[in-house]
């Protein structure tokens, strides 16, 4: 009896520790973003700002408040542009990757065709190829095709990097789906494509949502790839811009952290909203 | 563990008419698989071949030297260079610190989360949050904590009297590597925990009950019932953690730039290839790191297979 009480107390302490560990850096970031430079530079630290301010967010989003650090409207616009760049390329890459992966994942799990095994194994083997091994030759290829600093170039690189995992997840998901409705529709004279489109696809909704979320989180946070493939404001994502801010506005930590908080908002919302589906997919993948 | 398509074809053969229907199925199969296959051939397999050929040449864009075939010279040069060896030792440091912390605390966190209680779903949402965030942003959040002049860690330790003056955390190479590894672990440990938790949930409750009847306390139950059964999940988590730490880049870049003392092998590859524009040596280094990564995963997963069969 005593042990179980002790275990319960330890478990409660553990739960609190997990919450604190996971949230503390984000909470500190939020507080920092609402502070002024003076608050942040105080020694010993002010754990809360003397007066919370939205000025950093206003500077980044509206450009109305000019305070130490960002001085020109063009630098303010650069942040908005980078957020839009990240959002647009992420949406494009997720849509492209999920569409081709759903088609292929379904084909590999349900349809019989010559070379299916070879193609599938070749695809899964590429899961073991780290992206950095490909950066130099990919850069040459993309430069040759004039795709550096274009959305298309970035989307192609992201799709090639994410598709193997996405296909693998969709493939496993399809194998768990009941096959009887599809077989019944086939017997009733529905063609193979009709079966996929009308019977299988609607059943795959939650799997597709989970894979989309996983691909979204990965693409949104990309840094090294766009550092090379997205050199100008035309395509530069917010992750790369933030590291430039770190160099330029070193003294104005609240402003940089506010930029980071805006950049983490979309992935945080996706992760929290779809956490059940993501968890299911990730635990299935590892088994 | 890995199921390959083809296995279930045999039992289906009974009801499927051969001939045109099979042909239509095969045609559709290829049509659906084609886009992914095309992308992977063009943007993974072709670049792999191209990269291997690059690594055998002296390609120095900065000096405009023409491409000459040099065989394995780039590989030999790279292995012998002190900056490669330094970057390699830093990387092994990141990997060592990261996987030890991830395995110990990931297992602990999975054990804590393994029981049902109210608000579990919200707790999971909180748990996976650090994993979902961009590495650059995680690094940025931690700079506020680790900054030597006004960081919160210094302030906290000073205010409780643990240190008598502010520490420059990144002045010692060992401390820098440990701290950067901790920031990296912050983003990876949610996945470690989820993987181990999935293993824990496959441990039947009756085994614990049986062990308890036999007089085993919680510690003994963990040691003799739980641990052997979650070992496969731990091997998967260990592989994932090792591969992630071998490629560490973003966290270092934000926290300490490309400073020599904390440079990872991945960063050395980036600087050699795109800083010095030495595509030959850079690619040779990248292929060596890829090889190490693949050897690590095969090593772990083979060990895993030996245990489960």
How many whole angstroms separate alpha carbon A99 and alpha carbon B85?
43
How many whole angstroms separate alpha carbon B99 and alpha carbon B268?
22
- Read off the pLDDT of residues A109-124 as tens digits, 9 standing for 90 and up: 999 999 999 999 999 8
Taking the CA of residue B31 and the nearest CA in chain A, the distance in Å comes to 9
CB within 8 Å: A112 and B22 = yes
Of the CA atoms within 13 Å of residue B245, those in its CB half-sphere come to: 35
Which of A166-170, A244-248, B3-7, B213-217: highest mean pLDDT? A166-170
Angle made by CA atoms B69, B74, B79, in degrees to the nearest 5: 165
CB within 8 Å: B233 and A42 = no
How many whole angstroms separate alpha carbon B112 and alpha carbon B174?
31
- Residue B10 banded pLDDT, cuts 50, 70, 90: very low
- Residue B11 banded pLDDT, cuts 50, 70, 90: very low
DSSP calls for A215-257:
HHHHHHT--HHHHHH--STTT--HHHHHHHHHHHTTT-HHHHH
**How large is the average pLDDT for residues B233-245?**
90
Q: Is the pLDDT reported for residue A70 higher than 80?
A: no
Q: Quote the pLDDT of residue B97.
A: 98
**How large is the average pLDDT for residues B92-118?**
91
Cβ atoms of B5 and A117 closer than 8 Å: yes
φ/ψ (deg, to 5) at B66: -70, 160
Closest CA to B5 of A187, A170, A202, A191: A170
Closest CA to A116 of B297, B17, B19, B22: B22
Q: Is the pLDDT reported for residue A147 higher than 90?
A: yes
Cα(first)–Cα(last) distance of chain B, in Å? 11
Whether residue A44 is preceded by a cis peptide bond, meaning omega within 30 degrees of 0, is yes
State the pTM of this model: 0.90
- Residue B8 banded pLDDT, cuts 50, 70, 90: very low
CB within 8 Å: B28 and A193 = yes
> Best mutation site among A28, A132, A283 for testing chain B: the one with the most B CBs within 10 Å?
A132
Would you call B254 an interface residue with chain A, using a CB distance cutoff of 8 Å?
A: yes
Q: Is the pLDDT reported for residue A78 higher than 60?
A: yes
A130 to chain B: which residues are within 8 Å by CB? 243, 246-247, 289-290, 293
Would you call B174 an interface residue with chain A, using a CB distance cutoff of 8 Å?
A: no
How many other CB atoms are found less than 10 A from the CB of residue A197? Answer: 12
CB within 8 Å: A133 and B51 = yes
Q: What Rg, from alpha-carbon coordinates, does chain A have?
A: 24
How many whole angstroms separate alpha carbon B270 and alpha carbon A230?
15
Taking the CA of residue B174 and the nearest CA in chain A, the distance in Å comes to 23
B2 to chain A: which residues are within 8 Å by CB? 124
Which of A48-52, A130-134, B6-10, B178-182: highest mean pLDDT? B178-182
- Residue B227 banded pLDDT, cuts 50, 70, 90: confident
CB within 8 Å: B147 and A253 = yes
DSSP calls for B85-143:
HHHHHHHHHHHHHHHHHHHHHHHHHHHHHTS--TTHHHHHHHHHHHHHS-HHHHHHHHH
- Residue B182 banded pLDDT, cuts 50, 70, 90: very high
**How large is the average pLDDT for residues B252-256?**
93
Q: Which residues of B76-114 are buried (b: 16+ CB within 10 A; e: fewer)?
A: ebbeeeeebebbbebbbbbbebbbebbbebbbebbbbbe
Q: Quote the pLDDT of residue A232.
A: 92
- Read off the pLDDT of residues A27-44 as tens digits, 9 standing for 90 and up: 999 999 999 888 888 777
How many whole angstroms separate alpha carbon B159 and alpha carbon B122?
33
- Read off the pLDDT of residues B17-63 as tens digits, 9 standing for 90 and up: 557 778 888 999 999 999 999 999 999 999 999 999 989 988 766 66
Q: Quote the pLDDT of residue A152.
A: 97
Taking the CA of residue A37 and the nearest CA in chain B, the distance in Å comes to 11
How many whole angstroms separate alpha carbon B68 and alpha carbon B295?
30
Q: Point out the residue among A21, A138, A257 whose CB comes nearest to the CB of B140.
A: A257
Q: Is the pLDDT reported for residue A241 higher than 90?
A: yes
How many whole angstroms separate alpha carbon A93 and alpha carbon A155?
5
Whether residue B181 is preceded by a cis peptide bond, meaning omega within 30 degrees of 0, is no
Looking at per-residue pLDDT, the higher value among B66 and B236 belongs to B236
φ/ψ (deg, to 5) at A189: 95, 10
For chain A, give the mean pLDDT.
88
- B262 DSSP assignment: G
B127 to chain A: which residues are within 8 Å by CB? 18, 22
> Best mutation site among A12, A22, A261 for testing chain B: the one with the most B CBs within 10 Å?
A22
Please give the sequence-ordered ranges of beta strands (E in DSSP) within chain B, or none if there are none: 57-60, 65-69
Cβ atoms of A123 and A164 closer than 8 Å: yes
**Minimum CA–CA partner of B265 in chain A:** A132
**Minimum CA–CA partner of A48 in chain B:** B152
How many whole angstroms separate alpha carbon B236 and alpha carbon A222?
24
Would you call B61 an interface residue with chain A, using a CB distance cutoff of 8 Å?
A: no
Listed as own residue / partner, the contacts of B20-27 with beta carbons closer than 8 Å and 24 or more positions apart are B22/A112, B24/A191, B24/A192, B25/A111, B25/A112, B25/A113, B25/A192, B26/A111, B26/A112, B26/A113, B26/A114, B27/A113
Q: Quote the pLDDT of residue B12.
A: 47
Report the run of H or E that residue B289 belongs to, with start and end: helix B279-308
Work out how many CB contacts closer than 8 A connect A with B. 311
């Amino acid at each position: 009896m005593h042990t179980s009480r002790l275990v319960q107390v330890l478990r409660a302490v553990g739960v609190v520790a997990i919450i604190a560990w996971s949230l503390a850096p984000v909470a500190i970031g939020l507080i920092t973003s609402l502070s002024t430079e003076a608050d942040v530079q105080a020694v010993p630290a002010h754990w809360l700002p003397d007066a919370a301010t939205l000025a950093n967010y206003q500077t980044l989003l509206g450009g109305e408040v000019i305070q130490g650090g960002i001085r020109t409207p063009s630098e303010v616009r650069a942040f908005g542009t980078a957020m839009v760049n990240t959002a647009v390329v992420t949406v494009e890459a997720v849509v492209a990757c999920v569409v081709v992966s759903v088609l292929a994942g379904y084909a590999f799990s349900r349809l019989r065709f010559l070379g299916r095994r070879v193609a599938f194994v070749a695809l899964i083997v590429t899961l073991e190829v780290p992206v950095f091994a490909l950066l130099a030759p990919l850069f040459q290829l993309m430069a040759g095709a004039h795709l550096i600093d274009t959305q298309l170039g970035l989307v192609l690189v992201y799709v090639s990097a994410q598709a193997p995992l996405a296909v693998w997840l969709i493939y496993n998901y399809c194998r768990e789906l009941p096959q009887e409705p599809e077989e019944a529709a086939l017997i009733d004279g529905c063609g193979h494509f009709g079966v996929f489109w009308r019977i299988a696809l609607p059943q795959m909704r939650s799997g597709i949502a989970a894979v989309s979320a996983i691909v979204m989180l990965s693409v949104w946070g990309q840094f090294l790839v766009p550092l090379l493939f997205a050199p100008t404001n035309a395509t530069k994502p917010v992750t790369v811009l933030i590291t430039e801010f770190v160099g330029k506005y070193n003294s104005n930590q609240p402003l940089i952290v506010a930029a980071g908080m805006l950049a983490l908002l979309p992935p945080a919302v996706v992760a929290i909203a779809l956490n059940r589906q993501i968890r299911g997919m990730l635990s299935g993948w590892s088994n | 563990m890995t199921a390959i398509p083809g296995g279930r074809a045999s039992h289906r053969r009974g009801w499927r008419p051969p001939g045109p229907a099979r042909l239509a199925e095969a045609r559709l199969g290829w049509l659906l698989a084609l886009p992914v296959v095309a992308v992977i051939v063009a943007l993974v397999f072709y670049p792999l071949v191209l990269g291997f050929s690059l690594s055998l040449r002296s390609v120095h864009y900065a000096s405009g030297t023409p491409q000459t075939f040099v065989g394995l010279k780039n590989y030999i040069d790279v292995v012998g260079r002190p900056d490669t060896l330094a970057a390699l030792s830093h990387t092994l440091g990141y990997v060592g610190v990261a996987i030890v912390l991830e395995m110990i605390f990931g297992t602990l966190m999975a054990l804590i989360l393994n029981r049902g209680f109210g608000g579990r779903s919200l707790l999971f949402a909180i748990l996976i949050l650090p994993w979902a965030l961009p590495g650059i942003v995680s690094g940025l959040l931690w700079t506020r904590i680790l900054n030597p002049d006004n960081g919160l860690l210094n302030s906290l330790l000073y205010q409780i009297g643990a240190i008598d003056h502010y520490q420059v955390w990144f002045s010692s190479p060992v401390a820098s590597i440990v701290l950067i590894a901790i920031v990296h672990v912050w983003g990876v440990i949610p996945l470690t925990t989820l993987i181990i938790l999935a293993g824990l949930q496959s441990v039947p409750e009756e085994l614990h009950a049986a062990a308890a009847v036999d007089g085993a306390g919680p510690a003994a139950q963990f040691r003799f019932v739980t641990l052997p059964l979650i070992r496969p999940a731990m091997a998967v988590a260990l592989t994932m953690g090792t591969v992630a730490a071998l490629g560490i880049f973003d966290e270092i870049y934000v926290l300490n730039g490309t400073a020599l003392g904390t440079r990872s092998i991945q960063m050395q590859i980036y600087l050699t290839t795109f800083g010095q524009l030495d595509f030959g040596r850079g690619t040779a280094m990248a292929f060596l790191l890829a090889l190490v990564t693949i050897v690590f995963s095969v090593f772990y997963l083979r060990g895993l297979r030996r245990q489960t069969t």
